[in-house]
């Protein structure tokens, strides 16, 4: 087809679609009237960030737990304590390859020790009876009774079956020995519930014989991108008036990076019937629903009405924050958490990190730690009385203090500039001027 003919055809379809959409909008407004929604539910509107946090806290329920094999447990949240099945070390553990003998003999002037035997790691130790003798011993072996000192191989000279100890050393009692029970006693709690299992915690669990661990079940999360203007990532010839959709990819990636495995993403156009059917289906299959777009005041922003129609009870809609003002949170009939984030990519990502991820982590049992703070490296004018989420690049100064360099985006649609940032700081509502050195809570894109 000739290019101009194609453009004419596209314009025709665009206009036709707009007309058609106008009719659908009218029908939808009578199907899902905004007024009914507001009268029927006790949704709080245009609330502070603190109030939104409180409402989320009040709506929090824990995800159930399940057992997983140790090899699958990394990144999961522990729900039952890991305790010591015996003391550690369970024996006096030698920490250097060398010889072991009685320190009293050295102190009495002896420098030559007959090597009675060699003890390997893992070998049952027999007591050393002869105070004039020593044992050759390896790292990891149990120190035999009758020995209270280890001298490393670097400090001895071996002549046949005799070890000669240098005169320049001054060995101490139990040197190079990791003493029995010096780390922890039997029954001690080593890893507490609420901990995300990292390499150290997995190692500890293995050492006390936890082949299976009880952890939080991972929630099933559905991400839904809404919008008629959105085309698939694979689209090559994107019409000039449309855009590739990116929020669903970004949000799903952020969720997966936090260890969530069951995350699906899909796209629904601004069509109330289809949105209702899709939302109802996804709600019945998911623990958490995250929508983006269609939650503001536009004629085709159907999300609040549709959520109401499928039985979601909205707790709040619109938060006194920038970006991300249109945010909506509600609960499905079976207690599913439903977050409707604005469509603007910066707003969507900020809302996910500020509200969705913390809520999911608390529901998985993670203890909320006090937020990390970073000091603004220059004065900043927030130009709003709302809470301001400001993208920043972090660094440390020469004293080790964490600094945040403001990297405001062009608009909440300018997501390319987020790539150069590490996260965002939260600037409190009610003031605009923030001096250099102002310490603000920091949320990082990755931990």
Output the DSSP codes for 19-60.
HHHHHHHHHHHHHS-HHHHHHHS--EEEE-HHHHHHHHHHT-
Binding to ligand AMP by CB under 6 A, coded x per residue (else -) over 394-413, reads: -------------------x
Q: Is 116 in the site for ligand AMP (CB under 6 A)?
A: no
Q: Is 272 in the site for Mg ion (CB under 5 A)?
A: no
Q: Is 227 in the site for Mg ion (CB under 5 A)?
A: yes
| Binding segment (CB under 6 A) for ligand AMP, from list 138-146, 244-252, 257-265, 416-424 | 244-252
Q: Is 294 in the site for ligand AMP (CB under 6 A)?
A: yes
| Binding segment (CB under 5 A) for Mg ion, from list 17-25, 155-163, 226-234, 348-356 | 226-234
Lookup: tokens for 434: 């923030």
Closest Cα partner for 354 from 286, 260, 430, 254? 254
Cβ neighbours of residue 324 under 8 Å, at least 6 residues apart? 341, 342, 347, 348, 350, 351, 354, 389, 412
| Binding segment (CB under 5 A) for Mg ion, from list 201-209, 224-232, 238-246, 420-428 | 224-232
User: Are the C-beta atoms of 81 and 214 separated by less than 8 Å?
Assistant: no
| Binding segment (CB under 6 A) for ligand AMP, from list 110-118, 243-251, 423-431, 439-447 | 243-251
Cβ neighbours of residue 220 under 8 Å, at least 6 residues apart? 262, 285, 286, 287, 288
Binding to ligand AMP by CB under 6 A, coded x per residue (else -) over 119-138, reads: --------------------
Q: Is 294 in the site for Mg ion (CB under 5 A)?
A: yes
What is the phi/psi pair of residue 205, to 5°? Answer: -60, -45
Cβ neighbours of residue 264 under 8 Å, at least 6 residues apart? 221, 222, 223, 252
Q: Is 304 in the site for Mg ion (CB under 5 A)?
A: no
Closest to ligand AMP by CB, 29 or 83 = 29
Cα angle 178, 183, 187 (rounded to 5 degrees) comes to 135
| Binding segment (CB under 6 A) for ligand AMP, from list 175-183, 233-241, 341-349, 416-424 | 341-349
- CB hemisphere CA count around 246 (13 angstroms): 13
Q: Cβ of residue 246: shortest distance to ligand AMP, in angstroms?
A: 4
The one of Mg ion, ligand AMP, none whose footprint includes residue 252, by CB under 5 to 8 A per kind, is none
Closest to ligand AMP by CB, 125 or 345 = 345
Closest to Mg ion by CB, 279 or 422 = 279
The one of ligand AMP, Mg ion, none whose footprint includes residue 249, by CB under 5 to 8 A per kind, is none
Report d(CA 287, CA 217) in Å as an integer.
11
What is the DSSP-derived secondary structure letter of residue 371?
A: P
Which residues of this chain interact with ligand AMP, rule CB under 6 A?
Answer: 225, 227, 229-230, 243, 245-248, 292-294, 296, 298, 342-345, 413
Which residues of this chain interact with Mg ion, rule CB under 5 A?
Answer: 227, 293-294, 343
């Amino acid at each position: 087809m000739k290019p101009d003919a194609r453009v004419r055809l596209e314009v025709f379809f665009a206009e036709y679609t707009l007309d058609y959409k106008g009719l659908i909008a009218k029908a939808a407004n009578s199907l899902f009237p905004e007024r009914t929604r507001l009268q029927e539910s006790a949704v709080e509107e245009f609330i502070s960030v603190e109030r939104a946090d409180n409402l989320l806290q009040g709506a929090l329920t824990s995800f159930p737990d399940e057992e997983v094999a140790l090899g699958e447990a990394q990144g999961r949240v522990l729900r039952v304590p890991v305790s010591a099945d015996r003391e550690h070390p369970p024996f006096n553990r030698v920490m250097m390859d060398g010889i072991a003998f009685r320190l009293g003999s050295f102190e009495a002037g002896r420098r030559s020790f007959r090597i009675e035997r060699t003890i390997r790691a893992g070998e049952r130790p027999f007591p050393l009876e002869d105070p004039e003798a020593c044992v050759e011993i390896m790292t990891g072996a149990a120190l035999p009774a009758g020995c209270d000192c280890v001298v490393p191989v670097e400090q001895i000279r071996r002549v046949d079956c005799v070890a000669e100890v240098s005169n320049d050393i001054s060995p101490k009692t139990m040197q190079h020995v990791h003493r029995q029970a010096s780390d922890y006693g039997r029954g001690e709690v080593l890893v507490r519930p609420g901990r995300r299992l990292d390499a150290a915690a997995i190692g500890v669990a293995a050492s006390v014989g936890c082949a299976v661990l009880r952890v939080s079940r991972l929630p099933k999360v559905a991400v839904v991108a809404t919008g008629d203007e959105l085309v698939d990532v694979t689209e090559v010839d994107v019409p000039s008036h449309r855009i590739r959709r990116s929020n669903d990819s970004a949000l799903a990636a952020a969720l997966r990076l936090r260890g969530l495995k069951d995350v699906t993403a899909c796209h629904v156009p601004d069509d109330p019937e289809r949105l209702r059917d899709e939302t109802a289906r996804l709600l019945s299959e998911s623990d958490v629903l995250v929508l983006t777009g269609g939650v503001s005041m536009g004629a085709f922003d159907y999300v609040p009405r549709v959520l109401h129609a499928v039985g979601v009870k909205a707790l709040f809609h619109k938060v006194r924050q920038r970006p991300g003002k249109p945010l909506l949170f509600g609960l499905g009939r079976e207690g599913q958490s439903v977050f409707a984030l604005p469509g603007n990519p910066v707003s969507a990502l900020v809302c996910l990190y500020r509200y969705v991820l913390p809520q999911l982590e608390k529901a998985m049992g993670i203890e909320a730690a006090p937020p990390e703070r970073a000091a603004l490296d220059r004065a900043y004018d927030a130009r709003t009385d709302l809470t301001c989420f400001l993208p920043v690049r972090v660094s440390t100064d020469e004293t080790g203090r964490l600094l945040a360099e403001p990297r405001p985006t062009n608009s909440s649609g300018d997501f390319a500039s987020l790539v150069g940032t590490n996260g965002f700081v939260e600037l409190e509502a009610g003031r605009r001027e923030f001096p250099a050195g102002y310490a603000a809570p920091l949320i990082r894109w990755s931990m």
